[in-house]
């Protein structure tokens, strides 16, 4: 983080078990613990929507996809949807949520 701007320093208290886990992951990423924590914060601070954090990767049944109204029910919330290959919805198949853009989810048959 050495750059022309002054870095902000603050004290962060972690329990030993959490520090040990972070140190292990930092070592795997070939980073210091400080840089690893900074990278985690940078990746996750305000850049990802609820859908990107909570919905991507979930699976839904084709039966939860309503072709009449163009909505899919995921985690109790209705979203508009697209099928990644533009195929018709198979109500007996499972679909993975592979992308979220606003209130539109992209589904892929699995």
Question: With 70 as the cut, is the pLDDT of residue 49 above it?
Answer: no
What percentage of residues in the chain have a pLDDT greater than 90? 36
Residue 27 belongs to a domain:
yes
Residue 4 belongs to a domain:
no
Question: With 60 as the cut, is the pLDDT of residue 57 above it?
Answer: yes
Identify whether residues 55 and 105 lie together within a single domain. Answer: yes
Question: With 70 as the cut, is the pLDDT of residue 14 above it?
Answer: yes
Identify whether residues 56 and 94 lie together within a single domain. Answer: yes
Identify whether residues 67 and 30 lie together within a single domain. Answer: no
C-alpha distances (whole Å) from 32 to each of 7, 10, 68 are 16, 16, 53
Contact 35, 25 (CB under 8 A): no
- State residue 69's pLDDT score: 93
Domain count, the chain: 2
Tell me the pLDDT tens digit for each residue of 60-83. Answer: 999 889 989 999 988 888 999 999
Place of tokens 């990802």: 48
User: Which region, left, alpha or beta, applies to residue 22 given φ > 0 means left and ψ of -120 to 50 means alpha?
Assistant: alpha
Which range of residues forms the domain containing residue 41? 16-47
pTM of structure: 0.54
């Amino acid at each position: 983080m050495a750059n022309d701007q002054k870095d902000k320093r603050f004290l962060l208290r972690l329990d030993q078990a959490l520090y040990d886990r972070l140190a292990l992951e930092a070592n795997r990423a070939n980073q210091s613990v400080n840089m690893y924590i900074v990278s985690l914060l940078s990746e996750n601070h305000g850049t990802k929507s609820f859908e990107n954090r909570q919905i991507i990767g979930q699976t839904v049944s084709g039966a939860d996809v309503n072709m009449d109204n163009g909505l899919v029910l995921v985690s109790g919330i209705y979203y508009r949807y697209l099928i990644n290959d533009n195929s018709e919805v198979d109500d007996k198949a499972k679909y993975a949520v592979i992308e979220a853009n606003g209130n539109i989810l992209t589904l892929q048959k699995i």
